[in-house]
Chain A
Amino acid sequence: MNNKQKTASALFLSAALLPLTTMAEENWNTTLNYQADYGSYDGSQLRNDHLSQGIGLQFNYLDQFELKFYGNKSEVSYNNVNSEDLEQDEYAARAGYTIFSDSLSGRIGLGLYYHTVDNNDVTAQTDDVDVWASSLSYSPWDQQYKVGLEYALSDYSNLSEVHQLTTTFGFAFNDQYDWLNLRAYFISPQEDGIAELEDRQALEVTWQHWVQPGNWLGLDSVTLSAMGGERQFAVNSDIHLVMNLVDVEKQRYGAGLNWKTANGWQTSLGLSYTEFENETINDNYNDQLVYISVGKRF
């Protein structure tokens, strides 16, 4: 763990003490979340499987201000028994502020995001990564739709800087019991002397349906998602995702079930299927992943 990682870790731990002060204030909500995922690589010449666990802490001041901290530890095992497992630590923080604008008859969302990655990658290409992102969004008072723009700069210390522009458009239908979100990725690595680094574009579609209460599974909502195009070094600040992988993500499909209880418990179960290509060794493989997330709002 380098000094930067220690600082991020200390910041994360000190933030964990904040609930003690904020819980007393009725305007603040605190949410503590644990999540874990396991993925198995199928058809990969190099990779076997991966496991990760993370803790998130979120503070909300009514609808106006949001502060999120996230820490994650993951391991990737390789097919070659002589290869040492990849161990990776990630820390992320996100601040969001909402302006309620009468002149625009809606909400302006401002966001700032930081994510740092540290691992023992022997090639060092995916190690020592810093990501900064800033975002702007708008939705009308009735929140029937939302448009957003995010710019992310990923600094791969031993490889390249990567610029990413993300545009999002989401809209509600079925009396706001359904939400369809389109997220377009435009990714451009700055280093142009390396063959694998090219400009990539991808489109991700996510559909969320809120189930009427009283259903037999007690569900709150279900989610389906699909991604087409190509993503490399993609950033999704909404879910603290930094794909610090040189391999190119070709397509992805996912599904999730979400539960919420009146006393603040939130649980999600999901699975996803992702196809990758390692263009250097022409290795096409897929990742079959399952995840669980359990949270409690105080």
Chain B
Amino acid sequence: MKIISYSILGLLVIAFDSMVLKAAELSASTSESPWQQSYILEAKGDYEGAASTLINYVDNKESSEMAWLRQGWLHYLQGNYNDSINSYKSAWKKNKYSLDARLGLTLPLMAQNRWKEAARYAQQVIDMTRWNYTAHVRLLACKQGLKNWQDVNKLAKKLTTRYPSETTPWVYLARARNMLGDVDGALTAYRQVLMRDPSNIEANQFGLIEV
């Protein structure tokens, strides 16, 4: 009997807690900051809505650097690449040391296949930080877009020694070696890929064909 009473009491407590949480959620939805709304809308896939909630932060003289970075990202997600480029450049004007703005710029430029320009910004980040991983991977993508396999080979090789546990540099190294006619070298690199990512489709396919 006592057990049943405790159980009923426990259920009541849980139900009460749930009601309190619901009430809290409802009140939060009406008092969310534009930033919070923006992140929630982005998570739901409403990128246009996510960008528009921050419009007051960019549409004035006191515009915020973070709002421009968000606009750059959200325009990129919508496929508005020119707006994305302009937003990232506005963020850069606010902070000339910004690596985020430079790395952000590479995204819409790469989407437009403007490899040389994207490579320039990735290179700037590398010049400022030396071994920034994201900048290197994007520079690799640009060099691949330009079919500059010699550069892909050199860069990827260096990156595998700096970030030995990462899979992506090994994939680029394997591709470059293959394109440069070094099939054995490519196979060695793809084996390294499979150590890090055993289900990697590209490495598995290459192994099946070449071995």
Contacts and interface: CB of A to CB of B under 8 A. Distances in A.
Chains A and B bind each other: yes
Interface of A: 26-27, 62-63, 100-102, 105, 107, 141-143, 176, 210, 212-215, 262
Contacts of B120: 26-27, 62
Contacts of B82: 100-102
A213 B181 contact: yes
B184 interface: no
Given A100-B112, A141-B113, A142-B113, A213 B149 contact: yes
B157 interface: no
Task: Give me the 7 closest cross-chain CB pairs, A-B, nearest first.
Answer: A214-B181, A214-B180, A62-B117, A63-B114, A100-B112, A141-B113, A102-B82
A143 B111 CA distance: 12
Given A141-B111, A141-B112, A213-B181, A262 B81 contact: no
Nearest to B85: A100
B158 interface: no
A27 B114 CA distance: 13
A126 to B, nearest CB: 40
Given A210-B147, A214-B180, A102 B117 contact: no
B137 interface: no
A27 B120 CA distance: 8
A63 B79 CA distance: 20
B150 A100 contact: no
Nearest to B178: A212
Contacts of B113: 141-143
B141 interface: no
10 contacts: A100-B82, A101-B82, A105-B79, A141-B112, A210-B147, A212-B179, A212-B181, A214-B181, A214-B182, A215-B181
Dominant secondary structure of chain B at its interface with chain A: helix
A100 B114 contact: yes
Query: Which of A26, A100, A215 has the most C-beta atoms of chain B within 10 angstroms of its own C-beta?
Result: A100
Given A213-B149, A213-B150, A102 B81 contact: yes
Contacts of A213: 149-150, 179-181
Contacts of B151: 262
B132 interface: no
B111 A62 contact: no
A26 B182 CA distance: 33
A213 B181 CA distance: 7
Nearest to A139: B113
Given A102-B79, A212-B179, A214-B181, A62 B114 contact: yes
Query: Which of A26, A101, A141 has the most C-beta atoms of chain B within 10 angstroms of its own C-beta?
Result: A141
B80 interface: yes
Contacts of B81: 100, 102
A62 B116 contact: yes
A174 to B, nearest CB: 13
Contacts of A215: 181
Interface in B100-122: 111-114, 116-117, 120
Contacts of A101: 82
A62 B109 CA distance: 12
Contacts of A62: 114, 116-117, 120
A173 to B, nearest CB: 15
A38 B132 CA distance: 53
A262 B151 CA distance: 9
A143 to B, nearest CB: 6
A142 B113 CA distance: 7
Nearest to B179: A212
A262 B114 contact: no
